[in-house]
């Protein structure tokens, strides 16, 4: 039976969680913002080498401005976490470190990637100052719109949890 791992994608609303998954799974993007409620689950088989594949079960969780309210049931059996914020909206990363503490408390020892999305809308060099001022450390800066580092990010996580 094929190896199957669960990745939850979470963060504030409107940061582009659904778009990141859609870019990764279908290689498509839409500018229309549709609010996700509850959870959408999709599956993507990734191939590391010939006959070395893994099923990623991607849980796209409803965005919330209060990470504490995430339903614990959604997190059961999670192997990897992607925490997404929107680099253009400070409200989505101002409390990033305390949000991450909450996630880590809920999912101790689970690999976690911090991802700043929508980088196509900003000048990356300006972000460095912004992150430094807000004491933010990211694993990846992505753009679901252009596809920049989206696949790379999911594949890195897949390797990590393999």
- How far apart CA 63 and CA 40 sit, in angstroms, is 12
Q: How far is the CB of 140 from another protein (least distance, A)?
A: 22
The two three-digit tokens of residue 74, written as one number: 């959604």
Q: How far is the CB of 27 from another protein (least distance, A)?
A: 19
Contact pattern from residue 68 through residue 107 relative to another protein, giving x for each residue in contact according to CB under 8 A and a dash for the rest: ---x-xx-xx----------xxxx----------------
Angle at 162 between CA 159 and CA 47, to 5 degrees: 65
> Does position 123 bind another protein by CB under 8 A?
no
Q: Which stretch binds another protein (CB under 8 A): 33-41, 104-112, 133-141, 145-153?
A: 33-41
Are 134 and 114 a contacting pair, CB within 8 Å? Answer: no
Q: Which stretch binds another protein (CB under 8 A): 36-44, 93-101, 110-118, 130-138?
A: 36-44
Q: How far is the CB of 87 from another protein (least distance, A)?
A: 12
Comparing CB distances to another protein, the nearer of 40 and 104 is 40
Angle at 54 between CA 49 and CA 60, to 5 degrees: 135
Kindly give the pairing relationship between strand 39-49 and strand 52-61.
antiparallel
HEC string of 126-156 equals HHHHHHHHCCCCCCEECCCCCCCCHHHHHHH
> Does position 40 bind another protein by CB under 8 A?
yes
Judged by the rule CB under 8 A, the positions of this chain that interact with another protein are 4, 6, 13-14, 33-35, 37-43, 55, 57, 62-63, 71, 73-74, 76-77, 88-91
């Amino acid at each position: 039976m094929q190896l199957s791992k669960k990745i939850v994608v979470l963060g504030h609303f409107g940061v582009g969680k659904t778009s990141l998954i859609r870019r990764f799974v279908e290689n498509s993007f839409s500018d229309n913002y549709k609010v996700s409620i509850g959870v959408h689950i999709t599956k993507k088989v990734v191939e590391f080498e010939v006959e070395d594949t893994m099923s990623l079960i991607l849980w796209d969780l409803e965005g919330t401005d209060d990470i504490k309210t995430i339903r614990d049931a959604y997190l059961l059996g999670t192997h990897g976490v992607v925490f997404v914020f929107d680099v253009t909206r400070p409200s989505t990363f101002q409390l990033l470190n305390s949000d991450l503490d909450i996630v880590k408390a809920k999912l101790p020892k689970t690999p976690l990637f911090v991802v700043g999305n929508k980088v196509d809308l900003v000048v990356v060099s300006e972000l460095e100052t912004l992150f430094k001022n807000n004491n933010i450390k990211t694993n990846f800066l992505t753009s679901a719109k252009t596809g920049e580092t989206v696949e790379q990010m999911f594949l890195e996580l897949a390797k990590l949890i393999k």
